[in-house]
Amino acid sequence: MHETMSDVGGPGFFLTAIIARWNRVYSVFNWINCGHPPSLVLGAGETVDELATRPDPPLGVFERARTFHRHQRRLLAGDRLVMYTDGISRRRTGEGLFGTEGTVRAGRGAAGHSAAATARAIQEAVVSASEDALQDDAAVVVLAVSGPQ
């Protein structure tokens, strides 16, 4: 992906991304963060973990041949993994930015613990946080872990 971005782009052309893989058998989430906000794990209890790792630079910048740092985390039944763009976290509200706190609050307030209910709650909270139009993409992807792990 990085090499393709390097080949088709030019100066100033880049892409932030999280490249991820979910292994259901071992309940392990693997990811490479290329310039995105850190993902969140809303635990089955009231825990919240930020998967804060030093992100790699975005795809398409620096040399064509590059190394990336893969990270992994075991997820437990009831965990919800929330990946989101900076259009979510940097959304302006009357009190400042929507931020991680707004994302957690919206996810915790979801009507259910499914991935769809959590993503919908976050999207609705982001849209209603301000009357202003969104200034950036505001994407959210949620993985809800179910069953015995």
Mean pLDDT of 73-78: 96
The pLDDT of 76-85, averaged and rounded, is 95
User: Which runs of consecutive H residues, i.e. helices, occur in the chain?
Assistant: 2-8, 86-89, 99-108, 115-128
- The pTM score is 0.90
**In which band, very low, low, confident or very high, does the pLDDT at 148 lie, cut at 50, 70 and 90?**
low
**Which fold would CATH assign to domain 2-144?**
Phosphatase 2c; domain 1 (3.60.40)
pLDDT digits (tens, 9 = 90+) for 1-57: 888 888 887 777 888 999 999 999 999 999 999 988 999 999 987 899 999 888 899
d(CA 77, CA 9): 41
Domain ranges of the chain: 2-144
- Cα separation, 146 vs 27, whole angstroms: 10
Q: What is the pLDDT of residue 110?
A: 96
